Structure formats: structure tokens, C-alpha cells
Structure 1
Amino acid sequence: MTSPGTDYDVVIMGGAFSGASAGMMLKREHPDMRILIVERTVQFDRKVGESTSEVAACFLTRVLHQGGHLSAHHYQKHGLRMWFCKTSDDNVGDLTEVGPRYQSRLPTFQLDRAILDEHLLKEACDFGCELLRPATIKSIALSEDESPHTLEIAPQEGQLRTVTTRWLIDASGKAAVLAKKLGFHHTMEELHPTSSIWCRMRNVNGLDTFKSRKMHPRLMENVKQLRTTATNHLMGHGWWCWIIPLSDGSFSVGVTWDRRFYTLPAGPSLVARLQAHLMTHPIGRLMFENAVPDADDTFYYKNLAYRSDRIAGNRWVMVGDAAGFMDPLYSHGLDFAGYTVSAATDLVEKNLMGENTQEITDYLNKAYPRSWSLWFNALYKDKYSYMGDAELINATFLLDLSAYFLGPVRGVYSNPDAEWKLMPYEGAAGAFFGRFMAFYNRRLVHLGQERRRKGIYGAKNNGHVWMPHMSLSPDNTAARLLWAGIKVWLKAEITTWLAPTPSTAPVMMAEKPAEA
């Protein structure tokens, strides 16, 4: 298994979620494998996307076996909730709410990523990975033949080190070191020009407190679970906010927006702009009117979406966010981390055991961009144009999640040995669902445009409670909810078509001018 003539069998660039997971998975199966993890930070910062989906939670609990840690140190998540309003002065009890009525059937979690990443890195080291931290990789010389790769590594303290390795795994996250070095990195600024601001806040008034329920008694109706432990989303035309509770009592709160449709209120700082935006939504005011932000824990990202044209080559491979990222709406970033880490470790293992792995490399270089594009077109392309219409989002909520449960969720739970080594929505069935999802997404984009033209966009943003009477699971329940979503979609087609076209241009819902 070891590679003679090299310092290491594998060097992993980055020790957070993807890098630590890859090191752990390789080392626990092959204790003699020499693995070095190079991490540039002294301690991990907090990251966007603390909420997991069902696929990522499956990876955490059934591949990495972290159920005990997750149960002890993180909130269990109970679904995704979306809140809509017509005006910022709407009463909370009148808002249209989309989301689950009961607790989730499959495990998902609200993660404090700093805690999780440190834990996973420690686990990798406990299995025997060597850690160099803090340290920076100064140069990378990739081999084009069977000779080893060479890296120059500068520890924060100590001499510059030159190391050789058989394999290089890029888990550098959004830095995307190899993709940029090799010219494979592409942003999606023209197709998906999204930005995001987020921070941690304390003294937040949760939706299940005595104060909230006293002020708005309707919060006690309809839902049989705790709303606060869900990922609550505030929705508007061109934007959405996430609200995620964390185990230390703080909340992760942020806003993501498409710059073609919206920009944030002006303000003297990023935190001030985020707070001003939250105050424009009734749920935002209820929860954050007296909240205290951690100004030192504020982040801004521009052009969130990017991907690499290739993710594997001559004994190198990219995993997690180093390969690409789409959008945080459905929390699928860690899904792709699970898939790419599983595929990468399988590739490395087989190669170090002497197998010819060119076919696997070729597959990954075709399947990853194909899967990324399929998911993007199905889930996110121009979706922000109809995010402010509750009826259209209710349709996509049912359709998107049902297709997700029937496809990737069912796959990783029923056939994990095969599914984790493939990219999601592979095969004929996956391609069919992808085309179907992209079709109804295009139709919903069109309906959003028509509704704005006719002045009926967001007409059902208050006075409605749209909650399935079944919790999603990868069985007939998902199929039934898929059919329910199709009916909501078709009804929206009919009502939009029947709505009269005004003789004069309608007055649109109040919104900020698009950002230049």
C-alpha cells in the first residue's frame, strides 16, 4: 500500500470537513497508509451552511459514524420552513407559511461547523493521520508521469519543508487551489450572480418562546413540532434569509440575494445592512429586534456559484467545495462533499493497491460537471425571480424535495456501497428526473414573470398555511407529495393564465433597485 521513494502516500490540502473526512476514511481502512493533512488555520472559523440535508446527514451518521457527536453537540434539525409576507407590516399570525407539520423522519442537523470540523480533524489524527498546522503550501509541482508530486510547505513556526507524495487531495474549500492553478475554475457570475452576508447573533427571540406565542397565538396552531429547530427561511423577490439555531444559544442568520433582482438596504457596515434587511420582514422583527450581532463574526461572499471543469487527474483529486459550490438554499454543499470524498477515497485506495484507475478518473471528470449542471438547472437557475411568491415556492418545495427523496436520499440509504462512489442523479432515471425538474423550474420562472406583469405576484403571501400532513421519507410518501406538488404547479399555471392583464402597468410589490 505504501509508495516507496516518497515521503507520503497522500497529502491532503485542508483539514476541515472534506479533508478530515478523506483522511479518516483512508486511514481507518489502511492503517499503514502515510497521510499528511496540511491545514493553514490555527482554528476553524464558522462557515455558511450549518444546516444539513438528509444525504449529508446520512454521510455523517452512516459513513463517518458521527451520530454520537452530532446528538451531543448539535441541534437535530426538523425540516425547512419558509415565511412570506405581502408587506413588512403584516401580522405574524397572517403570514403564509410553507413547511413540515411534524418532526422529520430521517436525521438531519443544525451544525456548528467550527466544532464539527475540529472534531473530525481530531478523529482523523486519532486514526493516525499526521497534521501540520498552521502551515501554508507555497508551491505545488504536479507530476505528469509516475514520479511523485512535490510540495513546498511553510509551517508558521519552523523551516520550509519540501515533501513528496504519491497522491494529492485538494480539500482547500472555496480557495479551490488546484482548480485555479490548472485553469479549470469557473464562476457563474452571469448565470447566477448571488451574494451573501451572514453573522452570529445572540439574544434572539425564538418562534417557540412564551413571548412569541403570547404576541401571536396562531403560532400555537397547525404545527406539532418546534419551529425554532427547523431552518427558518424568510422569503422575498430575489432574496431569502436563513435562521439556524446553534447549540451554544446563538443563531446563524444570513441573507443570500441575486443581484439582478435585489440589493440590501444601505448601511454603514455589513452587520447594519443585514439587520436593516431583517427588519423588513415581520418574522425578522419578531426574532431579531433586540438581537446582538457578533460583529467580529461577519462574512460576505460574492459570486457564490463556481465549479471546476475537471476534478481528477494524474494522482490528484478535488473534494468538497474545492471542486465547486452552487447555492446554500437547500444545504446541498455537504451532499457533494460526501459524494466527492467517497469517490476520491475509492480512487486513491484502488490506485495505491496497484489497480489501473484511469476509467474512474475519466468517469469523475465527466460525471461531476454533468451532475453539477443538472442540479443547477433543476434547482437554482433563475429561481430567485419567483422566490417572493408563496404559491410558486410551495409548488417547488413539494416537487424539489420529493424528487430529492426519491433519488439521492433513497440511493444512499438503500445502496450505499454503489451510490456514494457515483455523482448524484446518474443514470437514465436520474437524467429523466433532472430534465423534469429543469422543465418545471423554467415554467415556474415564467409564471413568476407573468404574475409580476399582471400584478398578482405574491397574491397568496398571507392567509395560507401549506404544510404536508406527511413527513418526507424515501418511499411512497415522497411519491404522493410529488403528485401533490404537480397539482399545485398546474393550479398555478391555470390561475396565472386566467388572471386578466391590466390595461396599465401594475404597481409592483415594493423592492430595492437591482444592484449594479
Structure 2
Amino acid sequence: MNPNLRRHDVVIMGGGLAGLTLALQLKQRFGDIDIVVLERRAHPVPHAAHKVGESSVEIGAHYFDTVLGLKPHMHGAQLRKFGFRFFFSEGRRDIDQVTEIGASRYLSVPSYQIDRGIFENYLAEEATRRGVRFVDNALVRRIDLAEDPREPHRLAWTQDGETHLVHARWLIDACGRAGLLKRKLGLAEPNAHECNAVWFRIGERITIDDWSDNAEWRARCEPQARWLSTNHLVGAGYWVWLIPLASGSHSVGIVADPRLHPIETIDSFDKAMQWFQTWQPRLFDELDGKRHLLQDFAFFRDFSYGCKQVFSGRRWALTGEAGLFLDPFYSPGSDFIAMSNTYIADLIAHDRAGHSVDARAQLYDQIYHSFYESTLALYTDQYSLFGDPEVLPVKVIWDYTYYWGVLSQIFFQQRLTDLALLGSLRDELQHGQRLNFAVQDFLRAWSALSEKRNPAVMLDQAALPWFAELNRSLNDRLDDDAFRIRMRASVEQLRALAGEILVRATGEHPGLDGDALRAVLAEKISIAASPGCTQAPMLFAPG
């Protein structure tokens, strides 16, 4: 018997956001489970850590504050996000004279701006307090996956020059883009979304509220609250993010379609500043005197990718960026961590109960990839319309409605692993997915014809009663019958919204081809009557 050999129920390779939250979720569900987390970096990590993924949306936020019980930390050590906000400010300094998309007040369900350094340090400490063995400065050297399902996986790792051998019943890859299991098993898979990103941190707040002294503009939403949004400065083929961090730093990023804005034009801080001077001059003005406050700079080429498989009945899984990554535009990263971790926890639960997990792992993998494909459609070949003040506001409303009405309802109502219930809604869910694909194609065609008018208005999402109610409805607690009714109503709401989009766009542009969308809307499907709120116009009044 090797005295250095340790046996664990679960070994998690990677002690970042995905790995640590999975460890907490497992420990919360099974008090006696033996978990070790192997993290390459030394802890504690610096605040404003050199990572992307600071902005969360409703699924990820609910996972952190409610599912994992971290609400005191989220409220006390992080920033509550004032939603998404968009400014069509390309080439402009007069931000009060362009179209703005955003809410004038906080909606019901919270989300957060997350300083990843603060959060990951806290998660490591909390995991240790709950009985997880957290090892930093650990490098995984060898992985031997068990061929026999009765045998454990074998792993070798080093710390400070000393080699450790462990056996693990479950092996989880949460090591980010290093993708140890992905590379070992040849699971990497490209997708059709080609995009690049650069980002950096500045050690001072960027208070966008102060970019104008126009009293009317300032009064459009809660006082001095815009800076707490994930602010997007948008143009054709790109968007710029501004995300505040609780440490006092501000995260700035450029995400661009290389066909319109090649990475070579932005892949250093000086190049990015020159780019801002042309495309977003008001931000250039803000940053020009703060160059000495630069904290870091990094870039990713072709950051979006898929994965052939993320869950296996052979008792291994991938979570977070070790598996797949979409696009930061709607901040889905923590959402997909929440979903993959929930699936992994359920697979481990069935295994601990003595059940085979082969079939269940295969079904979870299919469902998870279906969510991935539906979300990927929001981004693929859509960057060209990001600078369109007429079409992007409609796209944002559609995308939110699909997200809050379908995916968020499944997660918030704890139905993610309820295969029977989801199976009873298969036709409705597939119809909603086809609608989403058709609407994304239609929006792109519409933008090719639109006049791209950019009036000085704020399109207030909070002023759409049905939209605010959809957000609030995530807080409801539904039994199975009520959940079925909710999901069918959500699909009918999507049909009503798609119909209104079709009528508006073809009314403005009679030559616009809407046949593909009409065909999906014409499908016969048994769903509930439309909610009463969809009888009124669902979109903003045309500009």
C-alpha cells in the first residue's frame, strides 16, 4: 500500500469559479462527501484578478446567492448590477444625444458585478470551512481514467516538488481553457462564431453618469446608477464593456468580429487606446489621463468554442470554460457553470445511491448542448447589427424574453434535472428553439435594410409592464402543473413577440423576406393561451 496514496470521492482539477462552486454545491448536498480541489495558482489571488467573467446575469446570480447560500457575501462584498445598458455612441462624445437601451430602475431579480479576486478567495475559504480540501500551487502531472467502471480514476499531482498520487471515484475538469480532460480525450470542437476580445483593468471608477451634465438625461434613470450597469458602447461589428468592481477597479473590454475590427488593431493597450480615439472617443477622453492606473492587459483570439461531450457515465465531467464557452455579450458564463454543476451534482447523487448514470449522463449532455446551441444563435453572425439603433433594441428584448421565459424558468423552478417533466414539454421547447433561430436570422436581414436612426432617447425596459413582470415571475414557486402552464405561456409569449417583430419590420421594409419566420409561426402546436399582457404592444414605439 502506497503511504502517499489518498482516495477521494471527487477530485476537482481547478479551483476557480467553476470548481469551487461545484465543491460547495456537492458539500451542501452531501455532508460526508470527500472532495479535494487542486488549484494551480497560489492563494489568495489579487483583487481585480486577471480573469474575465465579472458580470453575472439572473441564473448565475441565483445560483450564487440562493442555491449556494452566498447571499451575505454577494450583498456585502460585491456590487449589485443595474442591468445591461447600451449606448450607440460610435464616433461620438455626446452620449446624451444617442439612443440608450436600459432600465430606469432596478428590476425584481438581482444580478451582480463580481470582483473575481475577492470572490474566488472567499470561495476557497468557504470551501475549506465546509470541509473541502483545497490545495493551491498544485500541478496535475498525469491522468489515468479507469477503464473498468468498478475502478477509480488515478491522478498524479505535484506541490513544491513533491508528487502526490490519488484515486478518485469522480474526476472533474474545472481548469478553464487548459482543458486537461478535453485535450486528453480529444473533445475540443470549434463552432461557427469567430470573435476576438481584449480587456484590461483601470484602478479607478469610470462613472459614466458624469459624462454629461444634461439634467434631462441624468433624470432618465435612478441617480448615479448607470455606472453600476454592465455598460455596452456599441458599433457595427463590436461592443465595448465597462464593468465596475467592488475593489474600486473598472474592467474595460473590446469584443469584435475580426472581419470588421481585426485583433491586430487592438492587441495592446496603446493600440486599444488609439482604437478608442476613433471609435469611442468619449471613453478615450476618460482613460487618457489614467494610463498610469493600468493594472493588466490581455487578449483572446477566437474565444468561442464547443465541446463534443461534457458529462460521462464513466464518472468524469467538465464544467466552466474547461468545457465550452460562448460569448461575453450577455454574460452567460456563470449561467452555464450553474447548469453544468447542477447536472454534475445530480449525476454524483445517483451514483452514490447505487444507480447507473450512463443514460442520465447522455441525456444531460444532450440537454446542456441544446441550451448551448440556442444561446450560441444569439451571437453567431450577429455582430454586424450591434451598431443598429433600430434593430438591436428589438433583439435585446427578444433575447431577454427567450432567456427569462424559457431557460431561467427551468433553472429557477429547479426543473433542470426533471427529465420526465421536461420531456412532457419537449414539443413546446423545440418550437421555442426554432422560433429563436428564425428570429435571429430575421433580425440580421432586417438590419441589412434599416436606416439605423439614432435619436436621443432612452428605451426604458422597465416601462414595458410585461417585461418587468417576466423578470419578477422568476421569483414564483410553482408545482408541476403550474410549471407546465408557465412554460407553455412563455412559448406563446415568444410567438406573440415574434409576430410583432415580423409585422413591424416588414411594415417598414415591404421587401424584407419574412417567410422563414412566418413558417415557424404557422406551425401547429398545442400550447396555452397567450398571457393577457401580450395583447398590448410588446415592443418600444418605433423611433
| TM-score bucket of the superposed structures, by smaller chain | 0.7 to 0.9
CA contact (8 A) 2:27 2:132 kept: yes
Partners of 2:205 and 2:295 in 1: CA distance: 18
Q: Deviations over 1:367-390 (max 9, x none)?
A: 22232122212x112110211101
Question: Contact 2:389/2:454 (CA < 8 Å) preserved in 1?
Answer: yes
Distance 1:91 1:497, change over 3 A: farther
Decide whether aligned partners of structure 1 residues 218 and 202 sit closer, same or farther in structure 2, where only a CA change above 3 A counts: farther
- With normalisation by structure 1, the TM-score equals 0.86
Conserved in 2, the CA contact under 8 Å of 1:149 and 1:164? yes
CA shift for structure 1 position 486: 5.5
**1:291 to 2:290 alignment:** yes
CA-to-aligned-CA distance 1:195-246 (integer Å, 9 cap, x gap): 100011134441223xx343x4443132235111111101111100110111
Q: Which moved more, 1:235-244 or 1:309-318?
A: 309-318
Shift of 1:476: 8.8
Give the C-alpha shift of residue 56 in structure 1. 0.7
Can you list the C-alpha shifts for 1:122-159, whole angstroms capped at 9, x where unaligned? 2111111112211110110001112111111011x141
Question: Which of the residues 454, 461, 469 maps onto 1:461?
Answer: 454
**Whole-angstrom distance in 1 between the partners of 2:63 and 2:253:** 25
Question: What is the CA–CA distance in structure 2 between the aligned matches of 1:282 and 1:93, rounded to whole Å?
Answer: 14
What SS does the aligned partner of 1:224 have? coil
Are the equivalent residues in 2 in contact too, given 1:197–1:300 (CA < 8 A)? yes
User: Separation in 1 of the partners of 2:469 and 2:321?
Assistant: 27
Q: Offset of 1:487 from its aligned partner?
A: 3.5
CA contact (8 A) 2:206 2:250 kept: no
Relative to 1, partners in 2 of residues 1:477 and 1:82: Cα closer, same or farther, differing over 3 Å?
Answer: farther
Partner of 1:231: 230
Distance 1:337 1:363, change over 3 A: same
1:286 and 1:491, CA in 2 relative to 1: closer, same or farther beyond 3 A?
farther
CA gap of 1:104–1:461, structure 2 versus 1, over 3 A, is same
Q: Structure 2: any 5+ residue segments left out of the alignment?
A: 475-489, 513-543
Q: Structure 1 residue 198 and structure 2 residue 196: aligned?
A: no
Residue 349 of structure 1: how far off its partner (Å)? 2.3
Offset, 1:395: 0.7
Q: Cα distance, 1:291 vs. partner?
A: 3.1
The 8 Å contact of residues 106 and 473 in structure 1, kept in 2 or not, is answered as no
The CA distance in 1 between the partners of 2:348 and 2:187, in whole Å, is: 21
SS class of match (2:391): helix
Structure 1 segment 114-513 matched on structure 2, within 5 A: 114-145=117-148, 146-155=150-159, 157-188=160-191, 191-209=192-210, 212-214=211-213, 216-224=214-222, 226-263=225-262, 266=265, 270-279=268-277, 280-285=279-284, 287-292=286-291, 295-313=294-312, 314-377=314-377, 379-413=378-412, 415-416=413-414, 418-419=415-416, 427-451=426-450, 456=451, 458=452, 460-468=453-461, 469-470=463-464, 472-474=468-470, 487=500, 490-497=503-510
Per the alignment, in what secondary structure is the counterpart of residue 37 of structure 2?
A: strand
Quote the Cα distance in structure 2 between the aligned partners of 1:170 and 1:406: 31
Q: Deviations over 1:249-290 (max 9, x none)?
A: 2211101011122236847x6111222233322542464343
| Inter-CA distance 208–128: structure 2 relative to 1 (3 Å threshold) | same
Which of 49, 52, 58 pairs up with 2:53?
Answer: 49
Distance 1:61 1:486, change over 3 A: farther
Judge conservation of contact 1:199–1:293 (CA < 8 Å) in 2.
Answer: no
Letter in 2 for 1:199: F
Contact kept? 1:198, 1:254, Cα under 8 Å: yes
Q: What percentage of aligned pairs have identical amino acids?
A: 25
Cα offset, 1:6, TM superposition:
6.4
CA distance in 1, matches of 2:422, 2:162: 43
Aligned to 1:508: none
Shift of 1:82: 0.5
What's the counterpart of residue 510 of structure 1? none
Counterpart of 1:16, as a letter, is G
Distance 1:484 1:220, change over 3 A: farther
Equivalent pairs counted in the alignment come to: 478
Is the contact made by 2:99 and 2:457 (CA closer than 8 Å) also made in structure 1? yes
Point out the more displaced range, 314-323 or 470-479: 470-479
Contact 2:154 2:168 in 1 (8 A): yes
Q: CA deviation at 1:493?
A: 3.4
Partner of residue 478, structure 2: none
Distance apart, 1:475 and its partner CA:
6.3
Name the residue aligned to 1:79. 83
CA offsets 1:453-504 (integer angstroms, 9 cap, x no match): xxx3x3x1243322231463436989799656754564233324479xxxxx
State whether residues 27 and 33 of structure 2, in contact with CA within 8 Å, keep that contact through their aligned partners in structure 1.
yes
| Partners of 1:206 and 1:287 within 8 A in 2 | no
Residues 476, 52 of structure 1: CA spacing in aligned structure 2 closer, same or farther, 3 A cutoff?
A: closer
1:151-183 alpha-carbon deviations (Å, 9 max, x no partner):
11011x141112111110111112222112101
| TM-score with structure 2 setting the length | 0.82
Shift of 1:356: 1.5
Query: CA offsets, 1:327-369, max 9 Å, x none?
Result: 0000111101000001101111221231221221111232222
**For the Cα contact (< 8 Å) 1:50–1:112, is it kept in 2?**
yes
After superposition, the Cα gap between the structure-2 partners of 1:171 and 1:7, relative to the gap in structure 1 and judged at 3 Å, is same
Matching residue's letter, 1:178: L
